[in-house]
Amino acid sequence: MKKRIKGVIFDLGNVLIDFDHNIAANRICACSGKSIPEIYQFFFDSPLTGMFEEGRISANDFFSEVKKALELNISYEQFLPIWNEIFFFSQKNRGVYSLAKTLREKYKVIILSNINVLHYSFLKKHFPVFDVFDDVVTSFEQGIRKPDALIYKTALSKLGALPEEVFYTDDRQDLIDAAQKLGILGFVFQGTEKLEKDLQLVLN
Most distant pair of Cα atoms in the chain: their distance: 62
CATH number among 3.40.50.1000, 3.50.50.60, 1.10.3720.10, 3.40.50.970, domain 7-18+89-202: 3.40.50.1000
Average pLDDT, stretch 47-69? 97
Report the mean per-residue pLDDT for the chain.
Answer: 96
Percent residues over pLDDT 70 in the chain: 98
- Domains of the chain, residue spans: 7-18+89-202, 21-84
Q: Please calculate the CA angle 191-87-109 and round it to the nearest 5 degrees.
A: 55
pLDDT per residue as tens digits for the range 69-111: 999 999 999 999 999 999 999 999 999 999 999 999 999 999 9
pLDDT per residue as tens digits for the range 170-201: 999 999 999 999 999 999 999 999 999 999 99
Say whether pTM exceeds 0.85.
Answer: yes
Average pLDDT, stretch 115-129? 97
pLDDT per residue as tens digits for the range 3-15: 789 999 999 999 9
Domain 21-84: homologous superfamily in CATH: Putative phosphatase; domain 2 (1.10.150.240)
User: Tell me, what's the pLDDT at 44?
Assistant: 81
